[in-house]
Amino acid sequence: MMQGHTLDALVSSSVLDPSLFPWNIWTYIRGLTAPVFLMVSGAVHVFVLKRQGDGSLTNKTIQRRLTWGLTILGLGYLMMFPASRIVDLPFVSSKAWHYVLQVNILQLTGVSLLLLLLTAFFTKSNARLGLTSFMIALSIFLASPAIHALSLQGYMPLLLSNYVSFANGSLFPIFPYSGFLFIGVAIGAFLEQYRASERNHIIKKYGVRYGLFFWIAAAVNEGFFQIVLGEQIPGQMSPTMMFSRIGFVLMFFSLCAVAIEKLSQWKEHFVFFSGKSLGIYMIHLFLIYGTPWSFGLASFYAKQTSLEFGITLAIAVIFSTLGLIALGTHIKERATGRSEKVLKYGIRTAITYLLLVGL
């Protein structure tokens, strides 16, 4: 993800052409990043849904999941903040607002988690949640071509239509990307029935099998559209592409399960950084694109660098991001009592100051 964003933002388009080898393969692999993230997010959330004896969610779970979904959604829009101060918002151009309202991965994840919470609320067990989520995901994937063909942006406010359509520049609308999160929920519900000590083996065993199943389903689906209907649905809206990505991700999960056993001495580090995915996402984008109050690498090198220099900058972004995450965690862990409160409220005060006063 980090190298993909860096190279795409900084390397000259004359060098990095997605239509040519090897950049066509690089582009396909970049397209797998979001499905991996969303499927993992969905699977993980099954294990944090605490239920009462009658199967209903606990009030604490509802509050925490609601807060988390709204927080991610809010951060998605905050990262797109179009001015240096709130008072400047009335003077922001319509073109800038058009860009702000485009749905990125954080906004999509926030809304999808809220939809997941709603689904969990109306199901009385995680097993039923898993089955329902699988049906929701399948419905989203199969309906996506028709949804995008309807041109809903002409009948809905831009704020809402961007969540269902690519038409106005959204990168991650609900159709099809929320489907990956709900597939992840189905995977999490499947894994939950096994003991924690068995799950790595189950992932190794079934990841490849089900991965191949989805690859075959993708091929059959492609054949149906080409032979029966005589047409092919465009890539990112095609159920073929969605099923093939699921298949790849499942097989990738199996590979990771094998790798974690072979690299068990590094497991602690893998677990640490995997738990900081939100921070990693935000920090590396700040380094590349900057903020309303600071410059980023793209402010100086946007689509201008050679491949060699772009790779060097990508390595710098990766290590800087991970280093800042480690440093921030170290400071937070050493902060206790009063100093911890000062740190937490100090960050909030600084953000509030920037939004109200600017630099």
- In tens, the pLDDT along 125-149 reads 999 999 999 999 999 988 888 887 7
Cα(259)–Cα(255) distance, rounded to whole angstroms?
A: 6
Tell me: pLDDT of 347 over 60.
Answer: yes
Task: Yes or no: say if 257 and 205 are a contact pair by the CB < 8 Å rule.
Answer: no
- For residue 242, the tally of other CB atoms under 10 A from its CB is 27
Tell me, what's the pLDDT at 72?
A: 95
Question: Is omega for the bond preceding 234 within 30 degrees of 0, making it cis?
Answer: no
Query: Which residues are within 8 A (CB) of 58 and not within 5 positions of it... i.e. 6 or more apart?
Result: 50, 51, 52
Tell me, what's the pLDDT at 305?
A: 95
Tell me: pLDDT of 19 over 90.
Answer: no
Give the 3-state secondary structure of residue 232: coil
Residue, of 165 and 117, whose pLDDT is higher: 117
Tell me, what's the pLDDT at 140?
A: 94
Nearest-Å Rg of the Cα atoms of the chain is 22
Tell me: pLDDT of 222 over 80.
Answer: no
Give the 3-state secondary structure of residue 57: strand
Sign of CA dihedral 285, 250, 29, 174: negative
Cα(322)–Cα(327) distance, rounded to whole angstroms?
A: 9
Beta bridge partners of 185: none
Percent of the chain with pLDDT over 90: 57
Q: Read off the pLDDT band of 235 (50, 70, 90).
A: low
Cα(76)–Cα(93) distance, rounded to whole angstroms?
A: 20
| Mean pLDDT of the 219-248 span | 68
Tell me, what's the pLDDT at 21?
A: 87
Q: Of all helices (H) and strands (E), which one includes residue 200?
A: helix 196-223
Cα(105)–Cα(73) distance, rounded to whole angstroms?
A: 9
Residue, of 77 and 238, whose pLDDT is higher: 77
Tell me, what's the pLDDT at 152?
A: 66
- The set of long-range contacts for 154-160, using a CB threshold of 8 Å and a minimum separation of 24, is 158/98, 158/101, 159/101
Cα(207)–Cα(213) distance, rounded to whole angstroms?
A: 10
What type of residue sits at position 331? I
Per-residue pLDDT tens over the stretch 293-336: 889 999 999 999 999 999 999 999 999 999 999 998 888 888 77
143: tokens are 């309906």
Cα(5)–Cα(314) distance, rounded to whole angstroms?
A: 8
Tell me: pLDDT of 191 over 70.
Answer: yes
Q: What is the dihedral of CA 9, 11, 16, 17, to 10 degrees?
A: 50
| Alpha carbon distances (Å) from 325 to 80, 230, 328 | 21, 51, 5
